[in-house]
Each structure stands twice: as structure tokens, then as C-alpha cells.
Amino acid sequence: MGVANTVDRFEWFTLEDEVDYYRVGALVGLAMVSAASVRMLYEITVILGGSTRLLIGVTAAIIAAWLVAKRFPLRTALYIFSGLVFISYLWYFFAVGGDLRMIVTTPYLIIAHTLDDTITILTGMSVLTIGETDVWARSFAPAPIFLAWYLGFRRRYALASMVAGGMMLVFVFSGDLGWWWTLFGSTGIVLTLGFGAFEARRASVKHVEWLVIIIAVMATTALLVPFIPGGGAMGPLSFIDDDTEGNHSTIESNVVGSGSELRIVGEVDLSPTVRYTIESSDDVYWRTGIYDRYTGSGWVRTGDLEPYTGPQDGPESGQTVIQDVRIESPIDRLPAASRPTSISGMGDISVSEHGSFVADEQLEPGTTYRVASVLPDPADIDEDGDYPTALYEHYTQLPEDMPSRVHDVTAELTEGADGPVEKAQIIEAWLQHEKDYSWNVSRPSGDVADAFIFEMDAGYCTYFATAMVAMLRSADVPARMAVGYANGQQVDDDRYVVRGMNSHAWVEVYVPDAGWMTFDPTPPAEWSGERTDILEQAREDGVENVDTDESADLPFDYEPDLNGDGDENDTINDTDQNGLDDDDQLIGGPDDPIPEPGAVHDFGIDLDEFRAQDTGGQLPGDDDEGVWGLPDRDVLGLLAIVLSGLIAGAHRVNAHDRMRRQLRLRWHRRASGSIDDFNRSLERVEWVLASKYRPRRPHETQRKYHRLYSMSHDDARVDRVFELCEQARFAGEIDSQRAEEVVKLTNEIVADTVVFGGRLLPSRSNTAS
Amino acid sequence: MVTNTNVPLTRRGWFVVGTILVVFILGLLFGPRSLNAVFAPAFIALVVALWQVRRVDRPGMQRHIPEDGTVGEQVTVEIESTSETDHLGRIADQVSDGLMAKGNEAAIDIDRGHIYELTLRQRGRHHVGPMSVSVTDIFGLAERTFEYRAIDELLVYPRTYDIGSEGLERLARLAGIRLHRERHEFDRLREYRPEDSLRDIHWKTSAKRPDVDFIVKEFVRETDRGTLLLSGESSDEGDDALADILASLSTALLRRGINVSLETADGSIEPTAGVDDLTRILIALATLGPGKPSRHGDVHVIANGPDVRAATIEIGDEQLSFASLMGGDRSTAAEEEAALAQVPAQGVAD
């Protein structure tokens, strides 16, 4: 290609002529691409902490780029860039716990790990699933920003957009960057390249029009044409996506079926399909996975899956529960009580970092396995014990923009409570009493926990669990959300039939020296009735696979009266799960603040006090739902783009003039009594004849044209019009009578041959040919 | 003539193709995510690029360049667009050795044409062209190149140094000729007479004297002029210097009313009537090569190196260096003022 597109030097910034406006345009485009990436990084650091540091780093990088661009050539900048990359990698490396020895002895491990992270991202796993994402975000950001802006200031726009675009692509591949922001970034690249080309060539302004048209076409196409096949092809207009967003996924698919990311949704359906038959000595919570990172709008699970090679470590003392599970419909989840230690009877299994089992492939109905779980031993609880530091940091993470009133209400609620167990019990009880159960809710905007506590009256298990974890974490208690199945239909002693509608989300709290203990803030009694109705309806409708042989004849009689005292308002039986006998509580006594199950209790909290608080500016969620599932402002923006494209396009083809001409040809309302009438009539008649006969040739006189026409056509009106026009033009015979006549005749001629607003049709009358 | 292969993508264009292929494949394998918002714009850009570049007509381009110039001078070359192409592109105009071009290869908006500077480094017959113009789309993804074979010639005259009046008079004395007074091409200014050619009107002065018809320049009559034979020889490295010196001497002598004949290795030039002599001499000197002439003139220049100051001039038995002849500038404005003072202050009473 030879010729450089730009001159590689720095210029002072003056807005003097159009070239400088082009430069502004190109840099605006670069800002747009950068914004897409930086926004993503900012979101990550809001969730995980360090957002201010990120912004400082990015700003410093841009300023540095400006300074270096003033004087130094590309090679220097590349050296600086390489240095920054190296430093950032080192910084991240040490932050995730590497040490110098590792570099020397096992370099390949490091490379393998980096490759692994890269592949993770490329395959669509959110960057939040990587270990120390916040450190990664802060260390990764400055280097490419620096290089991209250096190149931008030096007017190497193609390279700049490559660097900035590549940075953005990371988040597009990982699935973190939403459709709208991706389009925003792509548009930025287009603007940078376009205006960059204009600047280098001192192009005239008419090219900008073309650029606007192209951008409008791009935006519309990206929205409407599914180039990449798959559910999300229609971008934000997609309704096909069954896993997350919007249209009524089942509770099971949202809770149990989410992979490493769980997005909290609105209304959910309950599925009566049978999943498992479980034989288990205790009625425990059968966990399929946990989520440890709260984003404000959902959950992310960090950590990788490792192949299962044998029994895992569990709590040292504590009761062992054996569960025999038979799979009743195809699924890959392997529910087991916390904490599962060994599994048998299965082929390839993987274990997550948090101890849950996952099958490598979907399992067919009829498959059975046996799993052994060790429950925590409440005797190990050490009220004055400390949390392991890393665990504490990890499981008290909360987004920076979560409103502080969550912390405040928790503080007031747990005043006087000692230790994690008391706090957990209080919060659990409060949520059960304070909120109602319903799966018919709308997804709130903003932080889900805050919204549920202060603005919603009811929700389902995900909301309860999320709120409780958020409250615990704000009180410095390590906690996480667990998902799985609970409370199946009891069909025999120790046998339970578990359905999709039994999928559930609850809370695990770390208690020093005893490990993770289970709590469930969802009020139990309310949800049983509706499940019964659904099952009975499904049975009536003959829906398949809602029963096993054992359950078919039994009513779905969820029996909340688990401790047999005849009271149906028991709390969910997490006592079993926590290794206790029925009547024990974890910690109790006459003075403890934990209310009796079912008792009316005044917790002394007035939520209105907190509602009045300013929640502080929150980052609007990426997918606040408005019209079509798009946020309203984005719809406006899209419309603006399309509109500008149309305007530019219309201007380009002179639509305005063309339309006017068409109108003038088709209608001539009134004679003005001047030569104008005759000229215009002649033009109109020629227009008609052009399609009916043939167009007049460039050098052909009108007289000759008319003569040739009349030789093959017998058209008195046309003849008369030509005659009038000639007399007007050459003999000066212009008066109102003639003018009216010529206009009238012409109107008739046109009316005969022209369909309203449409094409010319051949005349129906007197064509003698 | 289109010189590219069937698919006119540039390197950048292929890069974009590669990128969207990767995006497409990853989207197929691992889910579409928001990749459509990356794929669609890139795809549209490629489609538009190929369509634009395919259907573009050969742009009409016209080069405007002066026919001649002097060594060291800077001339402007203008490439004008004679058609409406509505595209961006690149231009590459070749220049021959001896011309230094700045901006002859550039990215342009084709309809706006292009202007670049040419510095005339060496004397001689040079040419500019052929030219190639590539048409690209806005983003530079596709291009088509058109060749323009038209070549323009540019004749570069040798440098003319000022010869100081002292030096010139010394030379004249040695050569035995009489110089006219120092003046410019024209002798004096006087009022217009009917038989005067309109070309001789001195407009500047006429404008200053509106009450008088016109003021004309009067030239020195041919018969008043002396003649001198100039000759010169040079080595291979000295031909430029020789040309410069001969040009300088010829200019100075002609200005002082001496007809000059030239004798060089390339041949001889006899004076003719009129001021064309200098032009003919310069044209000849532009392409002067090294060597010895067939005969020596009254004034014989020897240049054996590229430095004009080192050249020697033989007049009869005397020898001088050219350096000793070189002199300062005379203000042309002052000359003109002096000539002006000779015109009668009032109108001529007639």
C-alpha cells in the first residue's frame, strides 16, 4: 500500500477549519470506543471495589498519552506500552498469589493459566468469574488506553481504533458488554476511521453525509439482521432467549440452570416436571451450586471445575448423610447436601471450587448415584473465633454502589446480636416475617437487595436469599447464596420426589470453626398451596413426567409440620441441615432475640425511615427493561441515529427537490396568466409523452418532436397544447384565457395517463397507432 | 486500466474480513452474545467498500505544471479533477531524478484535486509523470488504481549569478568591448508615438501619469550592440558549473548591450535579432554536457569542478577566476526610478 494515510506528528489543537473539526470527530470516536471498555471495567470495580482507582488510572493514562505524543515517536510509545503491560501483568500475578519462585520453576503453568483465562473469556464466560477481577481490571486498563490515545493524538487512527477496539472485544467475547454498548463502541470505531480519513485528505464536507448514512444502515442492520445465528440474533429485541431476561423462565432454569452467572429476573414459572427421586435419611437441602459474587443485579460464580478424583475433604466431625438419587429426567446437576464428600455410581464428574458436583454430560433418566455428605457439627462453633482472611474478604464483597441503608437497617436489626449465628437467625426471621412470598414480581431497577428490602412487598427465594446475604455481608459476616432443590414430595419414609418447582435458593453462612451453615429466609408455608395447584392441574391435563410411579397416587401434600407438633407454620427445616435435632436451636436461651417460629414479633424496624434516605446515584443496570426490553434512552438514541441517516440520505439524493418536481409535474392548480403556465404545461406534456411515446432527444426541437408525435398519434389535446405554447413563446400571445385553456388541457392529458402518485400508464383513449 | 485483482480489498480490508470471520466462528461456537453489533457494522463497511470501488468510473485528472524553471526554484504542480468522483483516494505522481517533490504521494479527496511542490534541483530536461490515482472507500478497505500515462516535460535552466559591474567592466576592458550604460532591457522611457508597438508600453509608469497618453519603453537599437564570442569547456563534474557561468555571463552581457554567441562542446549559438537570444542560450545551456568546444572564444571559461568560484576565465592572455567577477545585487527598483526620472515631468507640449 505504500503511502501512509496520515502524517505522524503532533499538532496543536486549534479549531480553525474543517480539518480540525474532523480531528475532533476522530477523537470523539476514539472516546466512544474507550468508553465502552472503561465502562465495563468501571462496572467490575464498582462490584468488586476500586472504582476510583480505576478512573484515576485511566485518566492518568490519557494524560500521559497526550504528553508523550507531543514529542516522542511511535517507537518510544511502544516501549512504554510494553513496560506498562509487563508491570500490570506482574502486579496481577502477585495479587493472585503467585511468587517469584513460580516464575522460575514453573513458567509453563503461568502461561497455561493465562491461556486458560483467555479461553474462558473467549468462550463467553463473564470476566467476573476470573479470580481477582478487580485487580485485573485496574492493572489491565492503563496500558491499552495509553497506547490507543497516543496513536489517536498522533493521528494514526487505524492503529488507535485497532487497539481500543481490541480492548472492547475482550468484553464482547466474554459476554459482559451489552448490545447497546457494543454498538456504541463499534460506531466509535467507524467515526474514528471515517473522520481520520477525512482529516488526512482535507476532504470536503459532503463526505460526512455519506458517513452518517452508513452509520444509520449499520445500526439498523445490527438490530434487525441476525448475521450470527443463535438466540441473541435480534440483539435487544430478542424474545427467544429462554435462560435469563424477561419472558417467564422457570424458576428452575433461572436458579439451578444458570451457569456461572445468575441474573435475577422478574416473574417466573413453576415446572411440575419430576427431576429426581431421592432417598435420604434426613430431609436436607440438596444443593447443586453456590454463588459468591454479588453484582447488584445478579450473581456470579468464580472458580473452575476440576475433575472429580475421589473423596473430598469435609468438616472433620459432623454427621454423615447418605443420599441415593435416581434421575427422572435429563439433567446434569447432581444435588447433594452440603457438604458432599464422595459420590459413586457415576461416570465423569467434576467438582467446583466450592465442593458441588456437576456431571460432565447430561444424564439420562434411570441413572442412579449415591452421594455421601458431611453436615456441619454445631459443637464446633467457636463464638469468638476468627474468619480466615481470604475467605472473609471474598465472602463479604458487595458492590460499591449498593445503598448504605442496607447496612443501616441491618445494623439496627442486629443490634445486640453476638456473632454470625445470632445475626443470621435474626435476619432470617425478620425476612420471613416482613416479606410475603410470590413468584409474580417485576424485576426492580437498581440494586436488587436494596429494592427488595425497601421497595418490594413480596418476592421468591432468589430475592429472599439475595437480601439476606447482602445484609449479612454488610454486617461483616461472610455469606453466600446456595441453589438447588428443597422440600420434595414425601412419598415414603426417607423418600422424596423432587420436581422442577422445588428448585430453591437459600443462604450459607460461615461460622468459625464449624464451616458453612445453612439458613433459609424464605417463608415456607405460603408457597406450598400454589405448588399443589400446579401439580394437580398438570396431572389433570395429562402432562408428561410430572409423577413417578411412587408419587402418582399421592396427593401433593407438602407437610410443613416437620417437627410433628401440628403447627403448619414451622420455619423451613434447616435444623436438619445444620446437624441438629428437631427441637434444638443453634444458639438459644431465654434472653435471645430470636422469636419463636410463627410468633408475632416486633423487630422494632420502621422501613419508612430508611426509605426517605437518598440512595445515592446508582449505576442504572445494563438492561433496565423498557419498551422492547431496551432502556428508553437507548431506544431514543437508536431512533436518533436512524433518523439522521434518513435525513442525510434524503439530502444526498436531493429528495426534497425531486419530490417538488414530481408534484409540479402531476398538478398544476391554477393558471397564473404568465409565460410560466405555458412552459410548465409543455414540460408536463413532454413528461407524459416521454413514457407514452418517447422522450424528446436533446437536440430535437419541440416543434419537430411534436410533428413526429402527431404523425403516429391522433391527439387533439396535445396538438392544441403545443400550438398554444408556440404562440405564447414566439408570438407573445399570452392572456388569461389561453393560459387557463392550456392548463386545463394539460391537466386532462396528465389525468388520463397518470395514476395518482404512481407510474404513468398508457393512455386508454384515442391512440391511433 | 485497473491493475488490481478481482477482489479489490486492501490489506486493511483483509484484516477486517479476518476479524469478522473470527467473530462469526466464535459466535457460532460459543453463543452470539452481542457480537452482532460488531459483525454487522464491519460487514456493512466491507459491502459498501466493495460496491463503491467496483462501480466507480475512472476519475478525470489533469496535471498543470509550468514548462520551465530555474535551478533552485520551487514550482507548484497542480492536479485538477475534471470529473465528479465523490470518493476519497490516493495519488502518486512520479518525478524524474533531479526534481525533489514534496507531497507528490498523498492521500486526497479526489474531487478536490491535489497540489504539491517541486524543487528544481538539477538543470536539464526533466519529466513528471506517469501518475496513478487510487480510489478508495471511506474506511480504506478496498481500492482500485487507475494509471495516467501523461508525462509532462519540465526544462530546468541553469542558475544565473549576478555579475558585479566592476567585474564586468574589467572583463569588457580585457575583451576590448564597450558596454552600454547599466540599464535593464529597455533604454529609456518616453512618450508614446503612433508608430510604437503596443507591446512596448510601460504600464506602471503610464498609470502614474494619467494626463499623458502612454509611456513606452525604448529599446537599444540593434546596430548599437557589440558582439562577443563566449566559449566554455568542462570536465564531467564541471558541466553544471560551466552552464551556470555561461548563463550568468550571457545574461549580464546581453543586458549591457552586447550580443553573445556561444561555443560549447554541444555546438554553437549565433545571436539573432531581438531578445530571444537569452532564451535560446538558456535552453541550450539547460542541456549542456561536459567536453571541449571546437574553438575558443574571446572569453573562454574552464570549469573542472562543481564549484563555480573555482572556475577560470581566459581572456586573451589574462586569466581571472569567476569568483572575482561575482558581485552584489543592484536594486532593480532604484534602476527603474532612475529611468523614470528621465521622462519629462510635465506633459509634452505638442
Total domains in chain A come to 3
CATH number of the domain to which A493 belongs: 3.10.620.30
Q: Name the phi and psi angles at A696, rounded to 5.
A: -75, 135
* Residue A481: inside a domain: yes
ipTM tops 0.85: no
Q: Which of A651, A653, A217, A5 is nearest to B109 (CA)?
A: A5
Query: Which residues in B have their CB inside 8 Å of a CB on A?
Result: 10-12, 23-24, 26-45, 48, 86, 88, 90, 92, 105-109, 111-112, 138-140
Residue A2 has pLDDT above 60, yes or no: no
* Residue A226: inside a domain: no
Interface test mutation site (partner B, options A179, A227, A241, A642, max chain B beta carbons within 10 A): A227
Q: Which of A568, A571, A574, A598 is nearest to A586 (CA)?
A: A574
* A300 and A157 fall within a common domain: no
Which grid cell is A581?
A: 435435632
* A87 and A144 fall within a common domain: yes
The predicted structure's pLDDT at residue A763: 41
The predicted structure's pLDDT at residue B343: 54
* A558 and A671 fall within a common domain: no
Task: Looking at the complex, report in whole angstroms how far the Cα of residue B31 sits from the nearest Cα belonging to chain A.
Answer: 7
A69 near A154, Cβ under 8 Å?
Answer: yes
User: By three-state DSSP, how is residue A630 classified?
Assistant: coil
Q: Cα separations (Å) of B153 from A177, A229, A730, B128?
A: 60, 60, 54, 6
B120 near B150, Cβ under 8 Å?
Answer: no
* A385 and A488 fall within a common domain: yes
Interface test mutation site (partner B, options A39, A170, A201, max chain B beta carbons within 10 A): A201
* Residue A134: inside a domain: yes
* Residue A454: inside a domain: yes
Which residue in the block uniquely carries the three cell numbers 517507537? A75
Q: Which chain B residue shows the shortest CA-CA distance from A212?
A: B138
* Residue A249: inside a domain: no
* A479 and A348 fall within a common domain: yes
Q: Are residues A182 and B38, on separate chains, in Cβ contact within 8 Å? A: yes
Nearest to B138 among A123, A178, A207 (CB): A207
CA–CA dist A77, A735 (Å, integer): 80
Q: Cα separations (Å) of B327 from A513, B75, B161, B302, B323?
A: 105, 27, 8, 19, 8
* A40 and A180 fall within a common domain: yes
Q: Are residues B33 and A217, on separate chains, in Cβ contact within 8 Å? A: no
Q: Name the phi and psi angles at B335, rounded to 5.
A: -60, -45
Task: Looking at the complex, report in whole angstroms how far the Cα of residue A200 sits from the nearest Cα belonging to chain B.
Answer: 7
Strand-pair partners of A211: none
Q: Which residues of A touch B45 (CB under 8 A)?
A: 190, 214, 218
* A571 and A681 fall within a common domain: no
* A125 and A47 fall within a common domain: yes
Nearest to B36 among A206, A217, A228 (CB): A228
* Residue A7: inside a domain: no
Residue A622 has pLDDT above 60, yes or no: no
* Residue A452: inside a domain: yes
* A320 and A275 fall within a common domain: yes
Range of the structural domain that residue A83 is part of:
18-203
CA–CA dist A68, A74 (Å, integer): 9
Task: Looking at the complex, report in whole angstroms how far the Cα of residue A645 sits from the nearest Cα belonging to chain B.
Answer: 14
A269: exposed, middle or buried (Cβ count in 10 Å: 0-12, 13-18, 19+): middle
Lowest mean per-residue pLDDT among A382-386, A488-492, A546-550: A546-550
Q: Which residues of A touch B23 (CB under 8 A)?
A: 228
A402: exposed, middle or buried (Cβ count in 10 Å: 0-12, 13-18, 19+): buried
Query: To the nearest whole number, what is the mean pLDDT of chain A?
Result: 77
CA–CA dist B201, A746 (Å, integer): 65
CA dihedral for A495, A500, A502, A504, sign (positive or negative): positive
Tens-place pLDDT, residues A714-723: 888 888 888 8
Q: Are residues A233 and B41, on separate chains, in Cβ contact within 8 Å? A: no
* A477 and A347 fall within a common domain: yes
If pLDDT is split at 50, 70 and 90, which confidence band does A364 have? confident
Lowest mean per-residue pLDDT among A109-123, A395-409, A525-539: A525-539
Q: Which residues of B touch A218 (CB under 8 A)?
A: 40-41, 44-45
Residue A165 has pLDDT above 70, yes or no: yes
> What are the mean pLDDT values of chain B's consecutive 10-residue runs (350 residues total)?
62 92 88 86 93 89 90 90 88 90 90 91 90 92 92 91 81 77 62 77 80 74 70 88 89 82 84 72 88 86 85 84 69 50 48
Tens-place pLDDT, residues A660-676: 888 888 777 777 778 88
* Residue A629: inside a domain: no
Exposure on the CB side of residue A608, measured as CA atoms within 13 A: 0
Q: Are residues B23 and A228, on separate chains, in Cβ contact within 8 Å? A: yes
If pLDDT is split at 50, 70 and 90, which confidence band does A237 have? very low
Q: Which residues of B touch A211 (CB under 8 A)?
A: 138
Q: What does the CA dihedral B293, B298, B303, B304 come to, rounded to 10 degrees?
A: 70
DSSP classification of residue B104? S
Task: Looking at the complex, report in whole angstroms how far the Cα of residue B18 sits from the nearest Cα belonging to chain A.
Answer: 13
Nearest to A227 among B36, B88, B107 (CB): B36
The predicted structure's pLDDT at residue A767: 40
* A607 and A686 fall within a common domain: no
Q: Which residues of B touch A158 (CB under 8 A)?
A: 12, 140
Q: Are residues B107 and A190, on separate chains, in Cβ contact within 8 Å? A: no
If pLDDT is split at 50, 70 and 90, which confidence band does A124 have? confident
Ordered by where they begin, the domains of chain B are 1-157 (2.60.40.10), 165-333 (no CATH)
* Interface contacts A/B by beta carbons within 8 Å: 144
Q: Which of A552, A491, A556, A562 is nearest to A520 (CA)?
A: A562
Tens-place pLDDT, residues A206-216: 888 889 999 99
Q: Which chain A residue shows the shortest CA-CA distance from B136?
A: A197
* A62 and A148 fall within a common domain: yes
Nearest to B33 among A6, A172, A211 (CB): A172
Q: Which chain A residue shows the shortest CA-CA distance from B31?
A: A230
Residue after which a domain boundary falls, among A175, A203, A231: A203
Task: Looking at the complex, report in whole angstroms how far the Cα of residue B147 sits from the nearest Cα belonging to chain A.
Answer: 15
For residue A151, how many other CB atoms are within 10 A of its CB? Answer: 26
